[in-house]
Structure 1
Amino acid sequence: MTTVTLYHNPRCSKSRQTLALLEAQNVQIDIVEYLKNVPSSDDIRAILAMLAISPRELMRTKETEYKEQNLGDVNLTDEQLINAMINTPKLIERPIAIANGKAAVGRPPENVLAIL
Protein backbone atom coordinates (compact mmCIF):
# COMPACT_ATOMS: atom_id res chain seq x y z
CA MET A 1 0.00 0.00 0.00
CA THR A 2 1.24 3.45 -0.90
CA THR A 3 1.87 5.89 1.91
CA VAL A 4 1.27 9.57 1.19
CA THR A 5 2.60 12.38 3.35
CA LEU A 6 0.19 15.29 3.12
CA TYR A 7 1.23 18.76 4.23
CA HIS A 8 -2.24 19.84 5.24
CA ASN A 9 -4.12 22.85 6.56
CA PRO A 10 -7.55 21.72 7.78
CA ARG A 11 -8.93 25.25 7.34
CA CYS A 12 -8.14 25.24 3.60
CA SER A 13 -10.85 23.91 1.28
CA LYS A 14 -8.34 22.66 -1.34
CA SER A 15 -6.42 20.87 1.38
CA ARG A 16 -9.61 19.22 2.68
CA GLN A 17 -10.61 18.24 -0.88
CA THR A 18 -7.18 16.73 -1.49
CA LEU A 19 -7.38 14.76 1.75
CA ALA A 20 -10.81 13.41 0.79
CA LEU A 21 -9.54 12.46 -2.67
CA LEU A 22 -6.58 10.59 -1.16
CA GLU A 23 -8.85 8.82 1.35
CA ALA A 24 -10.95 7.60 -1.57
CA GLN A 25 -7.81 6.11 -3.17
CA ASN A 26 -7.29 3.63 -0.32
CA VAL A 27 -3.80 4.86 0.51
CA GLN A 28 -2.12 5.27 3.89
CA ILE A 29 -1.99 9.01 4.72
CA ASP A 30 0.51 10.62 7.07
CA ILE A 31 -0.96 14.07 7.76
CA VAL A 32 1.42 16.87 8.67
CA GLU A 33 -0.37 19.98 9.86
CA TYR A 34 2.47 22.20 8.69
CA LEU A 35 1.22 25.29 10.54
CA LYS A 36 1.69 23.40 13.83
CA ASN A 37 4.63 21.18 12.79
CA VAL A 38 6.67 23.48 10.58
CA PRO A 39 8.85 21.67 8.04
CA SER A 40 12.60 22.11 8.40
CA SER A 41 14.72 23.81 5.78
CA ASP A 42 15.88 20.33 4.69
CA ASP A 43 12.24 19.22 4.32
CA ILE A 44 11.45 22.28 2.22
CA ARG A 45 14.55 21.77 0.06
CA ALA A 46 13.54 18.13 -0.51
CA ILE A 47 10.01 19.18 -1.51
CA LEU A 48 11.40 21.84 -3.86
CA ALA A 49 13.69 19.24 -5.47
CA MET A 50 10.82 16.77 -5.95
CA LEU A 51 8.64 19.49 -7.46
CA ALA A 52 11.57 20.90 -9.47
CA ILE A 53 10.55 24.47 -8.59
CA SER A 54 12.14 27.48 -6.92
CA PRO A 55 11.31 28.54 -3.35
CA ARG A 56 9.25 31.49 -4.58
CA GLU A 57 7.12 29.12 -6.68
CA LEU A 58 6.18 27.27 -3.47
CA MET A 59 5.07 30.49 -1.77
CA ARG A 60 1.62 31.98 -1.46
CA THR A 61 2.52 35.33 -3.00
CA LYS A 62 -0.91 36.88 -2.38
CA GLU A 63 -0.66 36.56 1.40
CA THR A 64 -0.34 39.83 3.32
CA GLU A 65 2.80 38.51 5.02
CA TYR A 66 4.48 38.04 1.63
CA LYS A 67 4.01 41.73 0.85
CA GLU A 68 4.80 42.89 4.41
CA GLN A 69 8.09 40.98 4.40
CA ASN A 70 8.98 42.31 0.93
CA LEU A 71 9.44 38.75 -0.32
CA GLY A 72 8.86 39.81 -3.91
CA ASP A 73 12.35 41.36 -3.87
CA VAL A 74 14.23 39.59 -6.69
CA ASN A 75 17.52 40.01 -4.79
CA LEU A 76 16.47 37.63 -2.00
CA THR A 77 18.33 34.34 -1.99
CA ASP A 78 16.68 30.92 -1.98
CA GLU A 79 17.89 30.53 1.60
CA GLN A 80 16.15 33.76 2.63
CA LEU A 81 12.90 32.62 1.00
CA ILE A 82 13.11 29.19 2.64
CA ASN A 83 13.71 30.86 6.01
CA ALA A 84 10.67 33.08 5.42
CA MET A 85 8.55 29.95 4.87
CA ILE A 86 9.88 28.41 8.08
CA ASN A 87 9.28 31.61 10.07
CA THR A 88 5.85 32.17 8.47
CA PRO A 89 4.57 28.73 7.41
CA LYS A 90 1.32 30.31 6.21
CA LEU A 91 3.38 31.32 3.16
CA ILE A 92 3.86 27.69 2.05
CA GLU A 93 1.56 26.67 -0.78
CA ARG A 94 -0.84 23.93 0.20
CA PRO A 95 -1.60 21.13 0.16
CA ILE A 96 1.53 19.22 -0.78
CA ALA A 97 1.41 15.45 -1.19
CA ILE A 98 4.51 13.27 -1.25
CA ALA A 99 4.55 9.63 -2.34
CA ASN A 100 6.86 7.29 -4.22
CA GLY A 101 9.71 9.81 -4.15
CA LYS A 102 7.58 12.42 -5.90
CA ALA A 103 5.60 15.46 -4.78
CA ALA A 104 2.57 17.34 -6.08
CA VAL A 105 0.73 20.47 -5.02
CA GLY A 106 -2.99 19.78 -4.73
CA ARG A 107 -4.13 22.76 -6.75
CA PRO A 108 -6.30 21.37 -8.18
CA PRO A 109 -6.63 18.39 -5.83
CA GLU A 110 -6.48 15.93 -8.75
CA ASN A 111 -2.80 16.84 -9.25
CA VAL A 112 -1.90 14.45 -6.42
CA LEU A 113 -3.20 11.43 -8.30
CA ALA A 114 -0.21 11.61 -10.64
CA ILE A 115 2.21 10.59 -7.87
CA LEU A 116 0.29 7.56 -6.57
Structure 2
Amino acid sequence: MADVTILHNSRCSTSRHALSAAGEAGTDVEVIEYLKTPLDEAALRELLGKLEDEPGALVRRDPAFAAAGLTESDVATVDQVVAVLLEHPRLMQRPVLVRGDRAIIGRPKERVAGFLATP
Protein backbone atom coordinates (compact mmCIF):
# COMPACT_ATOMS: atom_id res chain seq x y z
CA MET A 1 0.00 0.00 0.00
CA ALA A 2 1.29 3.45 -0.92
CA ASP A 3 2.22 6.01 1.75
CA VAL A 4 0.43 8.83 -0.07
CA THR A 5 -2.26 8.99 -2.73
CA ILE A 6 -2.12 11.94 -5.10
CA LEU A 7 -5.21 12.92 -7.04
CA HIS A 8 -3.37 14.15 -10.08
CA ASN A 9 -3.87 16.06 -13.32
CA SER A 10 -0.82 15.67 -15.53
CA ARG A 11 -1.64 18.94 -17.34
CA CYS A 12 -1.30 20.93 -14.10
CA SER A 13 2.17 22.18 -13.14
CA THR A 14 1.25 22.28 -9.44
CA SER A 15 0.10 18.68 -9.62
CA ARG A 16 3.30 17.67 -11.41
CA HIS A 17 5.27 19.49 -8.70
CA ALA A 18 3.55 17.43 -5.97
CA LEU A 19 4.37 14.20 -7.78
CA SER A 20 8.00 15.26 -8.20
CA ALA A 21 8.29 16.35 -4.56
CA ALA A 22 6.95 12.99 -3.41
CA GLY A 23 9.51 11.22 -5.57
CA GLU A 24 12.34 13.36 -4.23
CA ALA A 25 11.18 12.64 -0.67
CA GLY A 26 11.24 8.92 -1.38
CA THR A 27 7.53 8.65 -0.67
CA ASP A 28 5.70 5.63 -2.06
CA VAL A 29 2.88 7.17 -4.09
CA GLU A 30 -0.33 5.94 -5.66
CA VAL A 31 -1.36 8.28 -8.47
CA ILE A 32 -5.00 8.62 -9.40
CA GLU A 33 -5.69 10.63 -12.52
CA TYR A 34 -9.08 11.79 -11.37
CA LEU A 35 -10.16 13.03 -14.80
CA LYS A 36 -9.65 9.56 -16.27
CA THR A 37 -11.08 7.87 -13.19
CA PRO A 38 -13.47 10.34 -11.52
CA LEU A 39 -14.27 9.82 -7.87
CA ASP A 40 -17.73 8.47 -7.12
CA GLU A 41 -20.01 9.88 -4.43
CA ALA A 42 -18.68 7.65 -1.65
CA ALA A 43 -15.04 8.47 -2.50
CA LEU A 44 -15.78 12.20 -2.62
CA ARG A 45 -17.49 12.08 0.76
CA GLU A 46 -14.60 10.11 2.24
CA LEU A 47 -12.11 12.61 0.80
CA LEU A 48 -14.05 15.57 2.15
CA GLY A 49 -14.12 13.93 5.58
CA LYS A 50 -10.31 13.80 5.57
CA LEU A 51 -9.70 17.21 4.01
CA GLU A 52 -8.04 19.75 6.29
CA ASP A 53 -9.52 22.57 4.18
CA GLU A 54 -13.12 23.72 4.05
CA PRO A 55 -15.24 21.54 1.72
CA GLY A 56 -15.77 24.36 -0.78
CA ALA A 57 -12.01 24.71 -1.21
CA LEU A 58 -12.03 21.45 -3.18
CA VAL A 59 -13.84 23.21 -6.04
CA ARG A 60 -11.79 25.31 -8.46
CA ARG A 61 -13.09 28.80 -9.17
CA ASP A 62 -11.91 29.02 -12.76
CA PRO A 63 -13.74 30.07 -15.94
CA ALA A 64 -15.41 26.62 -16.12
CA PHE A 65 -16.96 27.30 -12.69
CA ALA A 66 -18.63 30.45 -14.01
CA ALA A 67 -19.48 28.81 -17.34
CA ALA A 68 -21.37 26.12 -15.44
CA GLY A 69 -23.44 28.88 -13.85
CA LEU A 70 -22.09 28.14 -10.39
CA THR A 71 -21.72 30.59 -7.51
CA GLU A 72 -20.25 30.40 -4.02
CA SER A 73 -23.66 29.46 -2.65
CA ASP A 74 -23.57 26.31 -4.83
CA VAL A 75 -20.51 24.93 -2.98
CA ALA A 76 -21.22 25.89 0.62
CA THR A 77 -21.89 22.40 2.02
CA VAL A 78 -20.45 18.91 1.66
CA ASP A 79 -23.58 17.76 -0.19
CA GLN A 80 -23.30 20.63 -2.65
CA VAL A 81 -19.59 20.07 -3.25
CA VAL A 82 -20.21 16.38 -3.90
CA ALA A 83 -23.02 17.18 -6.34
CA VAL A 84 -20.93 19.75 -8.22
CA LEU A 85 -17.88 17.48 -8.49
CA LEU A 86 -19.96 14.51 -9.62
CA GLU A 87 -21.35 16.63 -12.44
CA HIS A 88 -18.14 18.57 -13.15
CA PRO A 89 -15.05 16.51 -12.16
CA ARG A 90 -12.79 19.00 -13.98
CA LEU A 91 -13.58 21.52 -11.24
CA MET A 92 -11.81 19.53 -8.55
CA GLN A 93 -8.76 21.29 -7.12
CA ARG A 94 -5.47 19.62 -7.79
CA PRO A 95 -3.37 18.14 -6.57
CA VAL A 96 -4.98 16.53 -3.57
CA LEU A 97 -2.71 14.49 -1.32
CA VAL A 98 -4.11 11.82 1.00
CA ARG A 99 -2.30 9.98 3.77
CA GLY A 100 -4.29 7.84 6.17
CA ASP A 101 -7.05 9.98 7.66
CA ARG A 102 -5.63 13.31 6.42
CA ALA A 103 -5.88 15.09 3.09
CA ILE A 104 -4.77 18.46 1.78
CA ILE A 105 -5.03 20.47 -1.38
CA GLY A 106 -1.46 20.96 -2.59
CA ARG A 107 -1.89 24.68 -3.23
CA PRO A 108 0.19 26.63 -2.69
CA LYS A 109 3.04 24.29 -3.61
CA GLU A 110 4.72 24.87 -0.26
CA ARG A 111 2.02 22.85 1.50
CA VAL A 112 3.19 19.65 -0.20
CA ALA A 113 6.59 19.38 1.50
CA GLY A 114 5.10 19.85 4.97
CA PHE A 115 2.46 17.22 4.31
CA LEU A 116 4.99 14.73 2.94
CA ALA A 117 7.27 15.30 5.96
CA THR A 118 4.50 14.55 8.47
CA PRO A 119 3.83 10.84 9.00
Q: Tell whether the structures are fold-level matches, with TM greater than 0.5.
A: yes
For structure 1, list consecutive stretches of 5 or more residues without a partner in the other structure.
Answer: none
Residue 60 (structure 1) aligns with: 60
Q: Structure 1 residue 52: deviation in Å? A: 4.1
- What is the aligned-residue RMSD (CA, Å)? 2.2
Indicate whether 1:82 and 2:82 are aligned: yes
List 4+ stretches of structure 1 deviating above 4 A: none
Q: Distance in 2 between matches of 1:32 and 1:2?
A: 12
Matches within 5 A, 1:1-116: 3-61=3-61, 63-72=62-71, 74=73, 78-112=78-112, 113-114=114-115, 115-116=118-119
Mark the CA change 1:108 to 1:73 in structure 2 (over 3 Å): closer, same or farther: closer
Mark the CA change 1:80 to 1:23 in structure 2 (over 3 Å): closer, same or farther: same
Q: Number of matched residues?
A: 115
% same residue: 30
TM-score (norm. length: structure 1):
0.84
TM-score (norm. length: structure 2):
0.82
Q: Distance in 2 between matches of 1:75 and 1:106?
A: 23
For structure 2, list consecutive stretches of 5 or more residues without a partner in the other structure.
Answer: none
